[in-house]
Amino acid sequence: MSKSKFLTGLSIVAGVAVIASGAAVAQDAIAKRKALMKAVGGATKTGSQMVKGEIPFDAAKAAESMNTIAKGWAEFATLYPKGTETGGETTASPKIWETFADFDAQGKKMAADAAKAATAAAGGADAFKAAFGDVTKSCKSCHDVYRVKKN
Ligand code: HEC
């Protein structure tokens, strides 16, 4: 192989690698945000089982679950770069990229409500129940707008 052919070959390989790593970054962001939401879902389940009396109320565990939700948002909001609108079995709605400021505001509200519920847990089961209700309302209001239903 001549030297110039070899160099052309190398740059093609490098170009393909750049494209592939861009796609990998996109897949990574989708996988990460789904995993984070799953953790939020798990923490919410713990809270809701306590509220329903399916598991005993435990102030420390309740607070820990709410803190998981509260802390998740900061990273979650960074996992919507352009190029991740589709793929990776995402259920994110294209609306997220149209009105990101509103999406972010809804997420911040959830985080603030979850932080309040974490504090309320120290006040006992009833105080927790009231604060937890606000957290679950924010799940639905965001999903209704920013998540596409899969049939
Ligand atoms: C500000 C918007 C927003 C809020 C608030 C929100 N979610 Fe989500 N949620 C999303 C989006 C967007 C997805 C889809 C992510 C994707 O597929 O890329 C999602 C996906 C999920 C999933 C599916 C994860 C998977 O396995 O793909 C679960 C479970 C979930 N959310 C639970 C919750 C719960 C519980 C709450 C409330 C405590 C909540 N979410 C609050 C936006 C939100």
Short-list 62, 60, 98, 64, CA closest to 80: 98
Question: In ligand 1, which atom is closest to the CA atom of 135?
Answer: 38
Looking at residue 23, its pLDDT comes to 76
Q: Is the CB of 63 under 6 A from ligand 1?
A: no
* Per-residue model confidence (pLDDT) at position 67: 97
pLDDT at 8: 63
Q: How far apart are CA 86 and CA 27, in angstroms?
A: 9
Q: Report the atom number in ligand 1 closest to the C-alpha of 79.
A: 18
pLDDT (mean) for 2-25: 63
Sign of torsion over alpha carbons 7, 9, 10, 12: positive
**Cα(128)–Cα(88) distance, integer angstroms:** 36
pLDDT tens per residue across span 48-62:
999 999 999 999 999
pLDDT in tens, 126-141: 999 999 999 999 999 9
Atom of ligand 1 at shortest distance to CA of 41? 35
User: pLDDT-based confidence at 95, cuts 50/70/90?
Assistant: very high
Report whether 93 contacts 145 (CB < 8 A).
yes
